[in-house]
Amino acid sequence: MAARHLLDSWEELKTDLADRSLYLFLDYDGTLSPIVRDPGRAILSLRMKRRLERLVRAGRCRIAVISGRALPDIRDRVGIAGIVYGGNHGLEVEGAGVTYRCPVPFTARRALDDVRGKLEKALSPVPGVFLEDKGLSLTVHFRKAKRAELPVVERAVEEAASPYRIPGGIDVRPGKEVFELRPFIAWNKGKTVLWLLEEGTAGGEALVPVCVGDDRTDEDAFRAVRDRGVTVFVGAPRQTKARYYLRNVGEVAEFLGRLARI
Ligand SMILES: [Mg+2]
């Protein structure tokens, strides 16, 4: 079933959500902040920050921001107390009284070290490509590289990672102008969302998950909660499991503003 535009469906959705407690799961890059050439410059706009703060203050919903970035990076970029932060797609979670560290096998850590060394060597001559070491994972950014260099990048990643692409080793995931190399374990954004929902619900009423994201890793979350919550893809909704879509970060801000006013 094709995703529907969320703002067009707002009246109906608003009625559904009006007296429910929500758990908002938000991605960062491409969702709360526009994708920029230099990921170091992806800052949260004041407008978005105010909306998030307002939602936290209203106390009607819990909020988690789960990103592929390292935990300290995502926490500093949003910088609002009372929000749960998930780094490395949920391998590390902290904030609002919640702490979780996914056990990452030693074999995966060692494999990441080895692959990092190999990729540093193989990719340093390629202009516009850089490695981001996020502790529990590694990102190869090629947004600034010439298109003609992409096969070189792909081959280097393939060669470095191939000995380890087994459970307990390393999983390679393509993203938006990146390759993500992360532990090959049964944990992802979807599992993180389910874990947080359960944790947040303990002893209380059921929370309705609202998941918003723009990339492949977000599809794990959409699949996990599609039948029990609101799933929102950000961007042109070509291939997504989400029920709704928003066109861009500006529409996400509009949505968060409307949620705060319910
Ligand atoms: Mg994203």
The tens digit of pLDDT for each residue in 235-249 reads: 998 889 999 999 999
Q: How far is the CA of 181 from the centre of ligand 1 (A)?
A: 16
Q: What's the longest Cα–Cα distance across the chain?
A: 57
Q: Which CATH superfamily is domain 4-102+187-261 in?
A: HAD superfamily/HAD-like (3.40.50.1000)
Across the chain, what does the average pLDDT equal?
94
Q: How far is the CA of 95 from the centre of ligand 1 (A)?
A: 20
pLDDT for res 203: 67
Q: How far is the CA of 27 from the centre of ligand 1 (A)?
A: 5
| pTM, full prediction | 0.94
CATH code of the region 106-183: 3.30.70.1020
Q: How far is the CA of 234 from the centre of ligand 1 (A)?
A: 9
The domains of the chain are located at 4-102+187-261, 106-183
Query: Which residue in the list 8, 16, 27, 218 is annotated as catalytic?
Result: 27
Residues of the chain below pLDDT 70 = 202-203
Q: How far is the CA of 179 from the centre of ligand 1 (A)?
A: 13
Q: How far is the CA of 204 from the centre of ligand 1 (A)?
A: 30
Q: Can you list the pairs that 194-201 forms with residues at least 24 positions away whose Cβ atoms lie under 8 Å?
A: 194/224, 194/225, 195/90, 195/100, 196/23, 196/25, 196/64, 196/84, 196/86, 196/93, 196/98, 197/23, 197/225, 199/98, 200/23, 200/62
- What percent of the chain has pLDDT above 90? 89
Q: How far is the CA of 203 from the centre of ligand 1 (A)?
A: 32
pLDDT for res 99: 95
Q: Give CA–CA dist 240/247, Å, rounded.
A: 13
Annotated catalytic, 27?
Answer: yes
pLDDT for res 202: 67
Q: State how far the alpha carbon of 62 is from the alpha carbons of 120, 125, 168, 196, 197, in Å.
A: 40, 45, 33, 10, 10
* 86, 64 Cβ separation under 8 angstroms: yes
